[in-house]
Amino acid sequence: MRRSSNPVFRSLEKQQVVVTVDGATTLGVATKTIVLLLLTLVSAALSVVFGLQAVAVPGGGVQFAIQPWLIVVIALSLITSFFSVLIASFFPRVAMPFSILYSLGQGATLGTITAIINFFIPGAAITALIGIGSVFAVMLLLYTSKAFRVTNKFRRFMIGTLIAIVVASLFSGILQLVAPGLGIFNNLPLAIILTIVLIIFGAFMLMLDFDYADQIVQAGLPTNYEWVAALGFMVTLVWIYVQILRLIILLASRRD
């Protein structure tokens, strides 16, 4: 970039350099996302190893004994996850601790659930991990290759769809309580199709996450926003992972 002889513009150029150095970077977002993923995996592993135990019962069955501390962690995770995302989004300065809190809590919860599912459906855990890794890799390739572009119209569509999914989920939950036999997931073929649709929706939500990361980098926002972007990736990946696990369960039920 050409240097100006105007002292005012030279001062602005120096400020721009400072913003570029101290601002958010793609590497910073990627690094923080990897850190949160590793914390999630470590939390999951520790929860399974020290908090979960399979106990054989007479008749050849099995039940799982969950340590009290793990029950507390999972309960707190269910309560604090939503608020952690809100606080980190609205107050980027504290995004780091709340992102870590979210990842540790989700790791304990998903690790426990995955271990139990994997016991009854061998291979479910590795299948889910391969599935989510494949989804992330494909969407990253589509985004970086510019094969898919995030437009304002696409953003509005995704936000509208998300609101519709939340409303439909609340309605389905109420319907399940009032009339259990009428729940959507009681219809196995429909449940499988709906779960696949939710996985696809989660995959396209990753596009918004990639776009958000690009925006904070291009805007030169503070590095605190890297944690916000990383947390966004975590929320989407958790969504996709849960839906993949649900699909595995549904497909296994169909075979039975």
Q: Rounded to 5 degrees, what are φ and ψ at 82?
A: -60, -45
- In b/e form, how buried is each residue of 190-222, taking b as 16+ CB within 10 angstroms? ebbebbeebbebbbbbbbbbbebbeebbeebbe
The domains of the chain are located at 19-255
- Beta-strand (E) ranges in 49-190? 52-57, 61-66
CB 223 within 8 A of CB 28: yes
| pLDDT at position 60 | 64
Query: Alpha-carbon distance 126 to 123, whole Å?
Result: 6
| pLDDT at position 27 | 94
**pLDDT in single tens digits along all 256 residues of the chain:** 444 444 443 433 444 444 445 789 999 999 999 999 999 999 999 999 998 887 777 766 777 888 888 889 899 988 889 899 999 999 999 999 999 999 999 999 999 999 999 988 999 999 999 999 999 999 999 999 988 889 999 999 999 998 988 888 777 767 666 666 655 556 788 889 999 999 999 999 999 999 999 999 999 999 999 999 999 999 999 999 999 999 999 999 877 5
Predicted structure pTM score: 0.85
Question: Would you state the structure tokens that stand for residue 235, as one six-digit string?
Answer: 């929320």
